[in-house]
A and B are shown apart, each in its own frame.
Chain A
Amino acid sequence: MHVGLEHYLTVSFLLFALGLLGVIMRRNLIVIYMSLELMLNAANLALVAFSRFNNKLDGQVLVFFIITVAAAEVAVGLALIVALYRRRQSAHVEDLTSMKL
């Protein structure tokens, strides 16, 4: 079977949808965080696929950027979650509603 661009994009879409569902549905911050990473990687997959099928390297360059930013984001985000947990003794989103009036 020939594997074309549409197959890659379908996988990418499924990954993105799963990640989004995780962000919206899951309650634990760590899991939400992992779901976010999943969405980023879905975007990466789509970019790499476009790059391969269009014979251009632009998409791959963008992927490098995304990976770098994601790494930094993980460092900062995890630190925030740890600090939050120490203060509130909880990492559940429903406990973190102090923005509500």
Chain B
Amino acid sequence: MKHELFPWLILFLPLFSAATITLFTLRSRSVSAFLSIGAVVTSFVLSVLFVSANGFHPAVTEISKSWLSIGNLQIDFGLKLDALSMMMLFVVTGVGGLIHIYSVGYMHDDPGFSRFFAKLSLFTFSMLGIVLANNFIEMFIFWELVGVSSYLLIGFWFEKPSAGDAAKKAFITNRLGDFGFLLGILMIWGILGSLNFSNLQGQLAVNSAALGTAATMAGLLIFCGAVGKSAQFPLHVWLPDAMEGPTPVSALIHAATMVAAGVYMLCRVLFVLNADALHVIAYIGGFTALLAALIAVQQDDIKRIIAYSTLSQLGYMIMSVGLSGPTPAMFHLTTHAFFKALLFMSAGSVIIGLHHEQDIWKMGNLRSKMPVTFWTFLVGALALSGLWPFAGFFSKDSILAQALAQHNYLLFADGVFIAGLTTFYIFRLLFVVFTGKEKSEHASHAHESPAVMTLPLVVLAIFSLIGGFIGIEETYRSMWAGEAEKSAGFAATAFAPFHQAPIAAGLGILVFVVGIVAAYALYAKAEKDPLPAMLGPLATAMKNKFYFDELYEATVIRLHDFIAAIFGFIDRWIVEGLCIGFVRGGTDLAGRALRLLQTGNLQTYAFLFVLGVAVVLWLVLK
């Protein structure tokens, strides 16, 4: 294998950049930005060089160093190099790199400019760690590191209480899922005695019932981790709140990478999941996708709409994994990274152009004032809605085809319906924001963003357009289906969905048309939202996110507070009052009594001294 050092460099360059910025260059904005962007772009270039030298299936798929061994627990620090991890390397460093560049424009006036780049680099390092990890413990460590750096980035504007709260919410919700993940890891180690992915896969290939009756349990516990990171129901509540962070963070973490980690992890450990576990996973994914799409229809904050859209698309991917289709899941993950990062960054461009206005009902007619942003947003929206030949069409179609192939018509109908909803809500956003009349003072004075922000948009727009037929799917398929199919050429690939699964492709296009027509009829000239009048209480429920936050407030948080109060009582009165208080009080009392003996009078001391001598003499001479 050529360039054996490259994977290590790819992983550690961002860490080096984060450390250097934090320790030395916080005062120098340009040096910090240069270091951070340099690190991620170099990682991208090295990934490309590595793949062009070794292909997607290098001779050695694992390089590892022994890290620590406790008893018979052996933990390596290793890098897994296969098609799956290397495609993810491209996504993380490529899309991530564009977002780094975009951040230079978005964060231009922020006093915490250097700090922001240090945290971005730390995040990139953690994410690359998850992608390259070759065993469960290593993955779990980077998993937690991603949680920490996402906490730091969401709470970047920590002087805003809402941002601090959102950061805590994201971290704690993630920790809930990670607890299950850790239990699952322990369970697998307990039964199979290994944590290395290839070793486990080998064991399960020999004896698929090696996990015994615990297989479903272990699979679902592992899935808990993905539920937290990929924000699936019932832990989905953190993702919309995480929009308190700067927009590049939303694009990087909450669209392209971190939330995709859950899907990636499931695909990586697919061999652990048995049929029952996959069944649960599929329905959780389908339900999340539907729930989030419905909520997105009635949101007014531009970033929140896109956030719920992300939730919905993640639901698609999880559903696809559950339908034992890792290829469509990873394919959709990749195209989604392109067009969702694009949508977030276009939205960020709008927000900057309107001086931090996020309510879509205060925008309008931005098409003429921000042409580049409009056109790139349109490409992103079309890709998200799945219009041929945009990238989203191919990946969404392959998921629907997977559902059909598994004869799961409920989830297929669910997927088709959500596709229509997706088109509806994203074009609602587009019509309200970019067409019609200006609905506020800011909107009439909007201006286009600088080139450093629009250029990454254009690059992502190109990939959102062509991402469907440049061989991404084939690369992923080669991971699970052995030899890669012969590439059929661009034109043939582009039309393939209509031959392979005409029902899925046809229905996809049909619901797209229905969605866009409905959105045009309702919102093209709307001054305010006409939907609440038509849907009544359902619209109110959607607007309030189906009251999940309130429900958790009333149940989980109330219960938690109650338990905390009990333990607070035990700690305050029994541990501190009785146990510690007794020792402390006893010492105090003894001290006070002994203190009376010290009068400070010389003659008392002399008298006691003589008394002592007399007693000793009496004892000796008796």
Contacts and interface: CB of A to CB of B under 8 A. Distances in A.
Interface of A: 20, 23-25, 32, 93-94, 96-101
B601 A97 contact: yes
A5 B92 CA distance: 107
Contacts of B213: none
Interface in B583-622: 595, 598-603, 606-607, 610
Nearest to A98: B600
Given A20-B610, A23-B606, A93 B598 contact: no
Nearest to A100: B600
Interface of B: 595, 598-603, 606-607, 610
Contacts of A32: 603
B603 A23 contact: yes
Contacts of A25: 603
Given A20-B610, A24-B607, A101 B595 contact: yes
A99 B598 CA distance: 8
A19 to B, nearest CB: 11
A24 B606 CA distance: 7
Contacts of B601: 93-94, 97, 100
A101 B599 CA distance: 8
Given A24-B606, A93-B602, A101-B598, 18 more contacts: A23-B603, A23-B606, A24-B607, A24-B610, A25-B603, A93-B601, A93-B603, A94-B601, A96-B602, A97-B599, A97-B600, A97-B601, A98-B600, A99-B600, A100-B599, A100-B600, A100-B601, A101-B595
Contacts of A93: 601-603
Contacts of A100: 598-601
A96 B605 CA distance: 13
B591 to A, nearest CB: 10
Contacts of A20: 610
9 contacts: A24-B606, A24-B607, A93-B602, A96-B600, A96-B602, A97-B599, A100-B598, A100-B601, A101-B598
Query: When A and B form their complex, which 7 residue pairs have the shortest distance between CB atoms, in order from nearest?
Result: A100-B600, A97-B600, A99-B600, A24-B607, A93-B602, A23-B606, A24-B603
A98 B599 CA distance: 9
Nearest to B613: A20
A93 B601 CA distance: 7
Contacts of A24: 603, 606-607, 610
A70 B599 CA distance: 28
Contacts of A23: 603, 606
Contacts of B600: 96-101
Nearest to A96: B602
A20 B606 CA distance: 9
A96 B600 CA distance: 8
A96 B604 CA distance: 12
A94 B601 CA distance: 6
Contacts of B610: 20, 24
A13 to B, nearest CB: 13
A88 to B, nearest CB: 14
A71 B600 CA distance: 28
A24 to B, nearest CB: 5
A96 B606 CA distance: 14
Nearest to B600: A100
A43 to B, nearest CB: 14
Nearest to B607: A24
Nearest to B604: A24
B250 to A, nearest CB: 64
Nearest to A97: B600
A98 B598 CA distance: 11
Contacts of B602: 93, 96
A97 B607 CA distance: 16
Contacts of B595: 101
B616 to A, nearest CB: 15
Contacts of B598: 99-101
B614 to A, nearest CB: 10
A76 B600 CA distance: 22
B507 to A, nearest CB: 90
A100 B606 CA distance: 15
A20 B613 CA distance: 12
Nearest to B610: A20
A97 B601 CA distance: 6
Contacts of B599: 97, 100
A24 B598 CA distance: 16
